[in-house]
Amino acid sequence: MSEVTSQHPHNLQHHFADMEQQNDSGIFGMWVFLVTEIMFFGAIFAAYAIYRSMYLPAFEFGSRLLDVKLGTVNTAVLIGSSLTMVLAVHAAQTGKRKALVFFLLLTMALGAVFLGIKSYEYYTKWEHSLVPGLRFAPTEALPSGVTVPNLEMFFCFYFFMTALHALHMIIGFGIMTVLVIMSWRGRFSPEYYAPIEVSGLYWHFVDIIWIFLFPLLYLIGGRYTT
Amino acid sequence: MSEHIVSVRSYVLVFLALLCLTALTVGVAFVDLGSMNTVIALVIAATKMLLVMLIFMHVKYSSRLTKLAILAAFFWLGLLLTFTLSDYFTRRWTPSPSDWGPSISQPAPVNK
């Protein structure tokens, strides 16, 4: 009896045969969740495609009102946070506790920079009265005498899609906070780091959503005309 | 565990490739290529997605079951987009028969 328990890994749940099965099940489960997220965002992307085709001039004009420099910087920041996330996974795989904590904190810091820049963009949209429903009077942002019908529709999509993305990042912050505490307490080892791995999958998924939001919102509105 | 430890070097190379593709997609957006602008932007985004999925998310080294789940996601996403967009984008291809309009808009006579 004592021989059996001594061979039983500390982190192995009793309903799994071994650590490999437990780890594969965790990764598979996370992917099934991400599949539902793909369908969730997929419906919004489909709606975006339909309304963009219906109100193409408004969507192209609205796209050019976004700050492409800030959008590009934010894309680089988020890709950087994905790099630090995989380096955190690497640190966990090689059993480097301090590096793991450091890279998780760095990932959170880069995420915070992204949300900071995003907040600044929201603030400038508010200043220019481009927030549908709350403050929408696009006279400042448009040349005098120019009116763009259905411009609200573009900004409805802009705010809804980016806010939903930002909400996912804020949820990611909560997950990371727990991971930092667990890592600091030495809960992970090269044999057991599944929570780091699956949280990384979530973080990269949020990155992929932004990889599509960035060109759809900021880039494909005929930037070359201005 | 069936994990495969990817080298830090590969991660950094993928990171640099993602940055280059970001610079490329921003650069192309300022060149007038007509409808190709949208196509190129989406192709670059899909390439970036594949890099993130295969290397950062370890899909290249994951189990067949996980790969099947991901393929299923793209299959269903394809169904969602294809059927929704093929409806909306073809509605004006054929006009409605002219005698449909009035008969629908007129209320049915009330027999009393």
- What ipTM was assigned to the predicted interfaces of this complex? 0.90
Q: Where are the domains of chain A?
A: 19-219
Q: Six-digit token pair at A157?
A: 């999509």
Task: Write out chain B residues lying below 8 Å of A27, CB-based.
Answer: 62-63, 66
When pLDDT is cut at 50, 70 and 90, the band that residue B110 belongs to is low
Q: pLDDT value at position A1?
A: 44
Express as a percent the part of chain A with pLDDT over 70: 96
d(CA B59, CA A113): 28
pLDDT (average), residues B51-60:
95
Q: Where are the domains of chain B?
A: 8-61
Contact A180, A105 (CB under 8 A): yes
d(CA A198, CA A204): 10
pLDDT (average), residues B71-90:
94
d(CA B70, CA B79): 14
Check whether A146 has a pLDDT greater than 90: no
Asked if A23 lies within 8 A of B3 by C-beta distance, the reply is: yes
Pick the more confident residue, B67 or A147.
B67
Check whether B64 has a pLDDT greater than 80: yes
Angle at A136 between CA A131 and CA A139, to 5 degrees: 125
| Chain B nearest C-alpha distance from A105 (Å) | 18
Q: Which residues have CB under 8 Å from B50's CB, separation 6+?
A: none
Fold of A19-219: Four Helix Bundle (Hemerythrin (Met), subunit A) (1.20.120)
pLDDT (average), residues A79-89:
97
Say which of B6, B31, B69 has its CB closest to residue A32: B69
Pick the more confident residue, A214 or B101.
A214
| Chain B nearest C-alpha distance from A205 (Å) | 8
d(CA B54, CA B66): 12
- CB atoms closer than 10 angstroms to residue B32: 10
Angle at B52 between CA A177 and CA A195, to 5 degrees: 30
When pLDDT is cut at 50, 70 and 90, the band that residue A73 belongs to is very high
* Span A92-127, pLDDT tens digits: 999 999 999 999 999 999 999 999 999 999 999 998
Check whether B101 has a pLDDT greater than 90: no
* Prediction pTM value: 0.89
Q: Which residues have CB under 8 Å from A157's CB, separation 6+?
A: A47, A48, A51, A217
Contact A75, A212 (CB under 8 A): no
Pick the more confident residue, A60 or A21.
A60
Residue A94 CA from chain centroid, whole number: 26
